[in-house]
Structure 1
Amino acid sequence: MYELRYDSIIEAAWDLLPPSARDEFDKTLLRVCADPCATTVPYGIDDGMTRHLVLSHTMAVLLVKHSPEKTVRIIQITHLETR
């Protein structure tokens, strides 16, 4: 299992997500922490570390460190407004 990390700016953006977007994001992050490469796609060049999580309400850029520490850091969250 990977440890999830994020800073206060990410936390504030996360808190501002509408309930349906936040719920989807929360549930998906549990799967990301279990297997980040299976639940995300490469962000740009596939370096195995920078990953893109694309959901119906949000997109996020993640930084995955595989060893020695197994962490997933949220770098950016973008809310996709639906009309």
Structure 2
Amino acid sequence: MNTKIVVPALTRTGRQSDKADVTDRESRIVIENENAEREAKTARLRSARLKAKAEAPPMSMTRKSKKKSAPKR
């Protein structure tokens, strides 16, 4: 005997929501990994900038005098 199995509509929607849940979880994992990489890069660049700033010779606080222009006629 051939019996046809009827899949109720709720089950089909459940499968679609399962796919959506899997996609949602995977996308959140990718986003979290990208955020972690970005934060690590920011920390690395910040420490490199602070190290370079500490090693750089201090800037002179004196101003250079401006040349006086000729008076307008």
Compare relative contact order (CA 8 Å, sep 6+) and give the higher one, 1 or 2.
1
The TM-score by the shorter chain falls in which range?
A: under 0.3
**TM-score scaled by structure 2?**
0.25
Q: Which has the higher helix share?
A: 2
**TM-score scaled by structure 1?**
0.22
Instruction: Report which of the two structures shows the higher radius of gyration computed on alpha carbons.
Output: 2
